[in-house]
Amino acid sequence: MGRTLALARAEVLHVVRDKATLVQLIVVPLLQLLVLANAATFAIRRSPIYVVDMDRSSASRAITNRLAASQYFSLVGYSSSPGDANEAMLRGRVSLTLTMPHDFEQSLVREHRGTVHLDVNSEKGSAASIVQGYAIQILNQYAAELGAEIQPRDTRTGRIETVVRDWYNPTLDYRQYMVPGILVALVTIIGTLVTAQNIAREKEMGTLEQLNVTPITKSEFIAAKLMPFWVLALVDLACGLLVGYFVFGISMHGSLVLLFFAAGLYLVAALGIGLWISTLVETQQQAMFVTFFVLMIYLLMSGLFTPIDSMPGWVQLASELNPVRHFVTISRAILVKGAGLSEIVRPLGILAVYGVVVLTLAVRQYDKRSA
Protein backbone atom coordinates (compact mmCIF):
# COMPACT_ATOMS: atom_id res chain seq x y z
CA MET A 1 0.00 0.00 0.00
CA GLY A 2 2.86 2.34 0.81
CA ARG A 3 4.40 1.89 -2.63
CA THR A 4 1.04 2.59 -4.27
CA LEU A 5 0.59 5.82 -2.30
CA ALA A 6 4.14 6.91 -3.09
CA LEU A 7 3.59 6.44 -6.82
CA ALA A 8 0.20 8.12 -6.57
CA ARG A 9 1.82 11.09 -4.79
CA ALA A 10 4.35 11.37 -7.62
CA GLU A 11 1.48 11.36 -10.11
CA VAL A 12 -0.27 14.15 -8.19
CA LEU A 13 2.91 16.24 -8.18
CA HIS A 14 3.21 15.76 -11.93
CA VAL A 15 -0.37 16.96 -12.48
CA VAL A 16 0.03 19.95 -10.14
CA ARG A 17 3.25 21.05 -11.84
CA ASP A 18 1.72 20.68 -15.31
CA LYS A 19 -0.55 23.74 -15.43
CA ALA A 20 -2.05 22.78 -18.79
CA THR A 21 -3.23 19.42 -17.44
CA LEU A 22 -4.60 21.05 -14.31
CA VAL A 23 -6.61 23.54 -16.36
CA GLN A 24 -7.84 20.73 -18.59
CA LEU A 25 -9.04 18.77 -15.57
CA ILE A 26 -10.64 21.53 -13.48
CA VAL A 27 -11.39 24.67 -15.50
CA VAL A 28 -12.39 23.27 -18.90
CA PRO A 29 -15.27 21.06 -17.62
CA LEU A 30 -16.77 24.00 -15.70
CA LEU A 31 -16.62 26.28 -18.74
CA GLN A 32 -18.17 23.58 -20.90
CA LEU A 33 -20.93 23.08 -18.33
CA LEU A 34 -21.77 26.78 -18.36
CA VAL A 35 -22.05 26.75 -22.16
CA LEU A 36 -23.70 23.37 -22.76
CA ALA A 37 -26.30 23.76 -20.02
CA ASN A 38 -27.82 26.59 -22.06
CA ALA A 39 -27.16 25.11 -25.50
CA ALA A 40 -28.04 21.43 -25.03
CA THR A 41 -31.68 21.84 -24.15
CA PHE A 42 -35.03 20.87 -25.57
CA ALA A 43 -36.62 24.11 -24.40
CA ILE A 44 -37.78 26.35 -27.26
CA ARG A 45 -38.03 30.12 -26.94
CA ARG A 46 -39.63 32.72 -29.24
CA SER A 47 -41.08 30.18 -31.64
CA PRO A 48 -42.79 32.01 -34.56
CA ILE A 49 -46.58 31.70 -34.50
CA TYR A 50 -49.36 32.93 -36.81
CA VAL A 51 -52.85 33.65 -35.44
CA VAL A 52 -55.95 33.42 -37.65
CA ASP A 53 -58.69 35.27 -35.80
CA MET A 54 -62.08 34.82 -37.49
CA ASP A 55 -63.99 35.82 -34.39
CA ARG A 56 -62.48 39.26 -33.75
CA SER A 57 -63.80 39.20 -30.19
CA SER A 58 -62.41 40.15 -26.80
CA ALA A 59 -61.76 36.48 -26.00
CA SER A 60 -59.84 35.85 -29.19
CA ARG A 61 -57.80 39.02 -28.70
CA ALA A 62 -57.03 37.99 -25.11
CA ILE A 63 -55.62 34.66 -26.30
CA THR A 64 -53.59 36.40 -29.00
CA ASN A 65 -52.13 38.82 -26.45
CA ARG A 66 -51.22 35.99 -24.10
CA LEU A 67 -49.42 34.10 -26.84
CA ALA A 68 -47.56 37.22 -27.94
CA ALA A 69 -46.54 38.06 -24.37
CA SER A 70 -45.29 34.54 -23.67
CA GLN A 71 -41.58 33.81 -23.72
CA TYR A 72 -42.33 30.75 -25.82
CA PHE A 73 -43.84 32.49 -28.85
CA SER A 74 -43.21 35.38 -31.19
CA LEU A 75 -46.28 36.59 -33.09
CA VAL A 76 -45.23 37.07 -36.72
CA GLY A 77 -48.67 37.22 -38.33
CA TYR A 78 -52.27 38.08 -37.46
CA SER A 79 -55.20 38.01 -39.85
CA SER A 80 -58.62 36.51 -40.50
CA SER A 81 -57.46 34.64 -43.59
CA PRO A 82 -56.39 30.95 -43.31
CA GLY A 83 -54.71 31.30 -46.69
CA ASP A 84 -52.10 33.72 -45.34
CA ALA A 85 -51.34 31.37 -42.45
CA ASN A 86 -50.98 28.40 -44.78
CA GLU A 87 -48.60 30.36 -46.98
CA ALA A 88 -46.47 31.31 -43.97
CA MET A 89 -46.38 27.67 -42.87
CA LEU A 90 -45.42 26.52 -46.37
CA ARG A 91 -42.54 28.99 -46.54
CA GLY A 92 -41.27 27.88 -43.13
CA ARG A 93 -41.84 31.26 -41.51
CA VAL A 94 -43.92 29.86 -38.64
CA SER A 95 -43.88 26.72 -36.54
CA LEU A 96 -47.52 26.85 -35.44
CA THR A 97 -50.76 28.48 -36.56
CA LEU A 98 -53.73 29.01 -34.25
CA THR A 99 -57.15 29.43 -35.79
CA MET A 100 -60.13 30.69 -33.78
CA PRO A 101 -63.52 30.20 -35.53
CA HIS A 102 -66.31 32.78 -35.92
CA ASP A 103 -68.35 31.60 -32.94
CA PHE A 104 -65.45 31.17 -30.51
CA GLU A 105 -66.48 33.73 -27.85
CA GLN A 106 -70.16 32.87 -28.27
CA SER A 107 -69.43 29.22 -27.52
CA LEU A 108 -67.46 30.18 -24.44
CA VAL A 109 -70.33 32.29 -23.11
CA ARG A 110 -73.18 29.90 -23.90
CA GLU A 111 -71.63 26.46 -23.58
CA HIS A 112 -68.52 27.25 -21.50
CA ARG A 113 -66.56 25.44 -24.16
CA GLY A 114 -64.64 26.64 -27.18
CA THR A 115 -62.65 24.93 -29.91
CA VAL A 116 -59.53 26.25 -31.59
CA HIS A 117 -57.50 24.68 -34.39
CA LEU A 118 -53.78 24.09 -34.09
CA ASP A 119 -51.63 23.38 -37.14
CA VAL A 120 -48.08 22.43 -36.21
CA ASN A 121 -45.06 22.33 -38.49
CA SER A 122 -43.71 18.83 -37.79
CA GLU A 123 -40.72 19.24 -40.08
CA LYS A 124 -38.39 19.52 -37.07
CA GLY A 125 -39.59 16.35 -35.38
CA SER A 126 -39.84 16.47 -31.59
CA ALA A 127 -39.82 20.29 -31.58
CA ALA A 128 -43.38 20.19 -32.97
CA SER A 129 -44.81 18.44 -29.91
CA ILE A 130 -42.94 20.82 -27.61
CA VAL A 131 -44.35 23.90 -29.35
CA GLN A 132 -47.83 22.39 -29.34
CA GLY A 133 -47.52 21.67 -25.64
CA TYR A 134 -46.64 25.30 -24.92
CA ALA A 135 -49.69 26.53 -26.83
CA ILE A 136 -52.03 24.10 -25.07
CA GLN A 137 -50.63 25.14 -21.69
CA ILE A 138 -51.41 28.83 -22.39
CA LEU A 139 -54.90 27.97 -23.66
CA ASN A 140 -55.63 25.88 -20.57
CA GLN A 141 -54.48 28.64 -18.24
CA TYR A 142 -56.79 31.14 -19.92
CA ALA A 143 -59.69 28.69 -19.90
CA ALA A 144 -59.19 28.04 -16.18
CA GLU A 145 -59.50 31.76 -15.48
CA LEU A 146 -62.78 31.89 -17.42
CA GLY A 147 -64.12 28.74 -15.82
CA ALA A 148 -64.56 27.32 -19.30
CA GLU A 149 -62.93 24.70 -21.49
CA ILE A 150 -60.90 25.30 -24.63
CA GLN A 151 -60.27 22.24 -26.74
CA PRO A 152 -57.28 22.35 -29.11
CA ARG A 153 -58.11 20.36 -32.22
CA ASP A 154 -55.64 19.20 -34.81
CA THR A 155 -55.74 16.58 -37.54
CA ARG A 156 -53.31 14.29 -35.76
CA THR A 157 -54.84 14.02 -32.27
CA GLY A 158 -58.52 14.50 -33.05
CA ARG A 159 -60.90 15.31 -30.19
CA ILE A 160 -59.20 13.36 -27.41
CA GLU A 161 -59.10 15.24 -24.13
CA THR A 162 -56.07 14.60 -21.93
CA VAL A 163 -55.19 15.48 -18.35
CA VAL A 164 -51.45 15.81 -17.73
CA ARG A 165 -49.46 15.96 -14.52
CA ASP A 166 -45.73 16.72 -14.70
CA TRP A 167 -43.95 14.85 -11.92
CA TYR A 168 -40.46 15.65 -10.60
CA ASN A 169 -40.03 18.64 -12.94
CA PRO A 170 -43.38 20.49 -12.89
CA THR A 171 -41.97 23.65 -14.51
CA LEU A 172 -40.62 21.62 -17.46
CA ASP A 173 -37.22 23.28 -17.04
CA TYR A 174 -34.94 21.22 -19.26
CA ARG A 175 -31.86 22.34 -17.35
CA GLN A 176 -33.11 20.23 -14.43
CA TYR A 177 -32.96 17.26 -16.78
CA MET A 178 -29.91 18.06 -18.89
CA VAL A 179 -27.37 19.49 -16.41
CA PRO A 180 -26.92 16.24 -14.40
CA GLY A 181 -26.39 14.31 -17.63
CA ILE A 182 -24.04 16.90 -19.13
CA LEU A 183 -21.98 16.92 -15.94
CA VAL A 184 -21.60 13.13 -16.14
CA ALA A 185 -20.53 13.39 -19.78
CA LEU A 186 -17.92 16.08 -19.08
CA VAL A 187 -16.40 14.26 -16.12
CA THR A 188 -16.26 11.10 -18.24
CA ILE A 189 -14.66 12.77 -21.25
CA ILE A 190 -11.99 14.61 -19.30
CA GLY A 191 -11.18 11.77 -16.91
CA THR A 192 -11.08 9.01 -19.50
CA LEU A 193 -9.07 11.04 -21.99
CA VAL A 194 -6.42 12.04 -19.45
CA THR A 195 -6.03 8.53 -18.02
CA ALA A 196 -5.88 7.06 -21.53
CA GLN A 197 -2.88 9.24 -22.26
CA ASN A 198 -1.18 8.52 -18.94
CA ILE A 199 0.71 5.25 -19.51
CA ALA A 200 1.19 6.13 -23.18
CA ARG A 201 2.98 9.28 -22.04
CA GLU A 202 5.26 7.18 -19.83
CA LYS A 203 6.11 5.03 -22.87
CA GLU A 204 6.94 8.06 -25.01
CA MET A 205 9.09 9.63 -22.29
CA GLY A 206 10.95 6.36 -21.66
CA THR A 207 10.13 6.31 -17.94
CA LEU A 208 7.97 3.19 -18.11
CA GLU A 209 11.03 0.94 -18.26
CA GLN A 210 12.34 2.55 -15.09
CA LEU A 211 9.08 1.82 -13.30
CA ASN A 212 9.10 -1.78 -14.54
CA VAL A 213 12.36 -2.54 -12.73
CA THR A 214 10.96 -1.34 -9.39
CA PRO A 215 9.40 -3.88 -6.98
CA ILE A 216 5.91 -2.38 -7.44
CA THR A 217 3.39 -4.92 -8.69
CA LYS A 218 1.16 -4.43 -11.72
CA SER A 219 -1.96 -4.02 -9.58
CA GLU A 220 -0.24 -1.39 -7.43
CA PHE A 221 0.90 0.42 -10.56
CA ILE A 222 -2.60 0.58 -12.07
CA ALA A 223 -4.11 1.63 -8.72
CA ALA A 224 -1.52 4.38 -8.29
CA LYS A 225 -2.25 5.69 -11.77
CA LEU A 226 -5.98 5.62 -11.11
CA MET A 227 -6.21 7.21 -7.65
CA PRO A 228 -5.14 10.84 -8.40
CA PHE A 229 -7.51 11.19 -11.36
CA TRP A 230 -10.29 9.46 -9.42
CA VAL A 231 -10.01 12.13 -6.72
CA LEU A 232 -9.75 14.96 -9.26
CA ALA A 233 -12.83 13.67 -11.10
CA LEU A 234 -14.80 13.72 -7.83
CA VAL A 235 -13.61 17.31 -7.28
CA ASP A 236 -14.81 18.12 -10.81
CA LEU A 237 -18.18 16.60 -9.99
CA ALA A 238 -18.45 18.62 -6.77
CA CYS A 239 -17.56 21.87 -8.55
CA GLY A 240 -20.06 21.09 -11.31
CA LEU A 241 -22.82 20.47 -8.76
CA LEU A 242 -22.04 23.82 -7.12
CA VAL A 243 -22.25 25.57 -10.49
CA GLY A 244 -25.50 23.77 -11.29
CA TYR A 245 -27.02 24.77 -7.95
CA PHE A 246 -25.94 28.41 -7.74
CA VAL A 247 -25.91 29.33 -11.46
CA PHE A 248 -28.73 27.24 -12.92
CA GLY A 249 -30.82 26.63 -9.81
CA ILE A 250 -30.70 22.85 -10.19
CA SER A 251 -32.71 21.10 -7.49
CA MET A 252 -31.00 18.38 -5.50
CA HIS A 253 -33.74 16.25 -3.97
CA GLY A 254 -31.71 13.15 -3.10
CA SER A 255 -28.71 12.27 -0.98
CA LEU A 256 -25.41 13.75 -2.12
CA VAL A 257 -23.59 11.09 -0.11
CA LEU A 258 -25.31 8.42 -2.18
CA LEU A 259 -24.53 10.33 -5.37
CA PHE A 260 -20.80 10.54 -4.57
CA PHE A 261 -20.75 6.87 -3.56
CA ALA A 262 -22.23 5.98 -6.95
CA ALA A 263 -19.80 8.40 -8.63
CA GLY A 264 -16.89 6.67 -6.93
CA LEU A 265 -17.93 3.30 -8.37
CA TYR A 266 -18.61 4.80 -11.78
CA LEU A 267 -15.25 6.58 -11.97
CA VAL A 268 -13.42 3.35 -11.24
CA ALA A 269 -15.06 1.94 -14.38
CA ALA A 270 -14.72 5.08 -16.52
CA LEU A 271 -11.10 5.82 -15.61
CA GLY A 272 -10.24 2.13 -15.74
CA ILE A 273 -11.32 2.14 -19.38
CA GLY A 274 -8.89 4.98 -20.00
CA LEU A 275 -6.04 3.08 -18.35
CA TRP A 276 -6.92 -0.04 -20.33
CA ILE A 277 -6.76 1.95 -23.56
CA SER A 278 -3.43 3.37 -22.43
CA THR A 279 -1.97 -0.12 -22.04
CA LEU A 280 -3.10 -1.06 -25.55
CA VAL A 281 -1.51 1.82 -27.48
CA GLU A 282 2.02 3.09 -27.93
CA THR A 283 1.56 6.87 -28.28
CA GLN A 284 -0.65 9.58 -26.80
CA GLN A 285 -2.04 10.35 -30.25
CA GLN A 286 -3.25 6.77 -30.63
CA ALA A 287 -4.75 6.93 -27.15
CA MET A 288 -6.64 10.11 -28.02
CA PHE A 289 -8.13 8.68 -31.23
CA VAL A 290 -9.23 5.41 -29.59
CA THR A 291 -10.72 7.30 -26.62
CA PHE A 292 -12.75 9.63 -28.82
CA PHE A 293 -14.10 6.64 -30.74
CA VAL A 294 -15.17 4.90 -27.51
CA LEU A 295 -16.61 8.07 -25.96
CA MET A 296 -18.67 8.89 -29.04
CA ILE A 297 -20.40 5.52 -28.82
CA TYR A 298 -20.81 5.85 -25.05
CA LEU A 299 -22.44 9.27 -25.21
CA LEU A 300 -24.79 8.46 -28.10
CA MET A 301 -25.96 5.28 -26.38
CA SER A 302 -26.24 6.75 -22.88
CA GLY A 303 -29.73 8.27 -23.14
CA LEU A 304 -28.27 11.73 -22.58
CA PHE A 305 -29.49 13.24 -25.85
CA THR A 306 -31.93 10.63 -27.17
CA PRO A 307 -34.16 8.36 -25.05
CA ILE A 308 -33.06 4.75 -24.71
CA ASP A 309 -36.68 3.68 -25.32
CA SER A 310 -36.58 5.15 -28.84
CA MET A 311 -33.62 2.96 -29.87
CA PRO A 312 -33.93 -0.46 -31.58
CA GLY A 313 -34.13 -3.46 -29.28
CA TRP A 314 -30.62 -4.71 -29.96
CA VAL A 315 -29.18 -1.24 -29.29
CA GLN A 316 -31.05 -1.06 -25.98
CA LEU A 317 -29.55 -4.41 -25.04
CA ALA A 318 -26.04 -3.33 -26.09
CA SER A 319 -26.36 -0.10 -24.10
CA GLU A 320 -26.47 -2.20 -20.91
CA LEU A 321 -22.69 -2.49 -21.38
CA ASN A 322 -22.40 1.30 -21.35
CA PRO A 323 -21.37 2.62 -17.90
CA VAL A 324 -22.29 6.18 -18.90
CA ARG A 325 -25.91 5.12 -19.38
CA HIS A 326 -26.12 3.73 -15.85
CA PHE A 327 -24.56 6.72 -14.13
CA VAL A 328 -26.69 9.19 -16.10
CA THR A 329 -29.70 7.21 -14.87
CA ILE A 330 -28.40 7.28 -11.29
CA SER A 331 -27.55 10.99 -11.25
CA ARG A 332 -30.93 12.01 -12.68
CA ALA A 333 -32.77 9.67 -10.31
CA ILE A 334 -31.01 11.05 -7.23
CA LEU A 335 -30.95 14.74 -8.13
CA VAL A 336 -34.30 15.08 -9.90
CA LYS A 337 -36.46 12.39 -8.30
CA GLY A 338 -34.82 12.05 -4.89
CA ALA A 339 -34.31 8.31 -5.38
CA GLY A 340 -32.79 6.20 -2.62
CA LEU A 341 -30.47 3.20 -2.65
CA SER A 342 -33.25 0.70 -3.34
CA GLU A 343 -34.25 2.54 -6.54
CA ILE A 344 -30.74 2.56 -8.02
CA VAL A 345 -29.39 -0.76 -6.76
CA ARG A 346 -29.49 -2.37 -10.23
CA PRO A 347 -27.41 0.24 -12.15
CA LEU A 348 -25.17 0.56 -9.10
CA GLY A 349 -24.48 -3.17 -9.13
CA ILE A 350 -23.75 -3.08 -12.87
CA LEU A 351 -21.21 -0.30 -12.34
CA ALA A 352 -19.50 -2.25 -9.57
CA VAL A 353 -19.15 -5.32 -11.78
CA TYR A 354 -18.03 -3.16 -14.70
CA GLY A 355 -15.30 -1.55 -12.57
CA VAL A 356 -13.91 -4.91 -11.43
CA VAL A 357 -13.87 -6.28 -14.98
CA VAL A 358 -12.21 -3.21 -16.51
CA LEU A 359 -9.51 -2.94 -13.84
CA THR A 360 -8.76 -6.65 -14.20
CA LEU A 361 -8.37 -6.23 -17.95
CA ALA A 362 -6.12 -3.20 -17.48
CA VAL A 363 -3.86 -5.06 -15.03
CA ARG A 364 -3.63 -8.15 -17.22
CA GLN A 365 -3.00 -6.19 -20.37
CA TYR A 366 -0.25 -4.15 -18.74
CA ASP A 367 1.32 -7.30 -17.32
CA LYS A 368 1.26 -8.95 -20.75
CA ARG A 369 2.92 -6.04 -22.53
CA SER A 370 5.54 -5.38 -19.92
CA ALA A 371 6.59 -8.95 -19.23
Which residue type does 27 have? V
**Whether pLDDT at 4 is above 60:** yes
pLDDT given for residue 158 in this prediction: 40
Strand partners, 49: 75, 96
**Whether pLDDT at 349 is above 90:** yes
Split at pLDDT 50, 70, 90, the class of 163 is: very low
pLDDT given for residue 155 in this prediction: 44
pTM, full prediction? 0.68
pLDDT given for residue 88 in this prediction: 85
* Cα 49 to Cα 73: distance, rounded to the nearest angstrom: 6
Burial class (CB in 10 A: 0-12, 13-18, 19+), 295: buried
The residue that leads in pLDDT, 182 or 123, is: 182
DSSP 203-214: HHHT-HHHHHTS
For 47-82, how does the pLDDT look when each residue is reduced to its tens digit (9 = 90+)?
Answer: 899 999 999 999 899 999 999 999 889 999 999 888
Calculate ∠ Cα 307-312-317, nearest 5°. 85
For 244-271, how does the pLDDT look when each residue is reduced to its tens digit (9 = 90+)?
Answer: 888 888 878 889 999 999 999 999 999 8
* Cα 1 to Cα 173: distance, rounded to the nearest angstrom: 47
* Cα 102 to Cα 108: distance, rounded to the nearest angstrom: 12
